[in-house]
Structure 1
Amino acid sequence: MDQTLTRIRLITEELYLVRDELNKRAAIQPAELSSALFASDASNELVAFKAAVDELRQFLWHYLNEFLGKPENAIGDRLREYQMRRAAQLLRALSAAHPYQIKPHPLEAAAQDAIRLAESARASEK
């Protein structure tokens, strides 16, 4: 499993590098990047890449739900904490898109409370 985890780390780093490279090119040369991505070879590669990432995402989602779905598994708790943190980030982004809102959305407050509760429970276990 150590070799598999090492490969996962390397692939994860590489995915972030690809994302950063595309973001940088989009910021510097948006028209050139757009036309390059719509070239037939590039678009075929991009579609194949997206399909592979989507398939892996679905597999990992199923794998994590099956493996981590057991209540005694601490990794499942970390996954739920991550999901709550991500939900809070999305809610903050959505609320920022609507600046006319004066008070925070109740779901955002609930998500932040859940995150704080999970983090304090995790800290007390250590």
Structure 2
Amino acid sequence: MWTGIGLCVAGAAGLVVGGVLDVDAADPWASVAGGAAGLVGLALTIYALFSGASGGSGTPHASVTASGARSVAAGGSIGAVVTGDGVQAVAPPAAVPGSAPPSGGRPVTASGERSVAAGGDIGSVSTGDA
């Protein structure tokens, strides 16, 4: 993102300076700058597509591990989790539109007895015994 912003600022500044100094010389520079910006944009798009960058849908490459007795881990959101004995699951609260996105390829780890971890939202968790 910052590379794209930097290119836009540098291109705009170069065109303003070229336009003030010599309008006829600014035209070929604008053509070259536009072509270069297009190629850089294409390269960044292809890189983001194949590097596993996420727009909020998560990736299958996320490392999700749960270690420990009764631990729970999820790469996305969790509605309700009960790890205790004799406890009933309660309905999780309604999902809020625009809530936290899935982990996006980042590791999600729940380690330790009855630990719970999620890459997104967690609705309701009960880890104790009744």
Asked whether the two chains share a fold, i.e. TM above 0.5, the reply is no
Whichever of the two has the greater Rg, that structure is 2
More helix by share: 1
Which structure has more relative contact order (CA 8 Å, sep 6+)? It is 2
More strand by share: 2
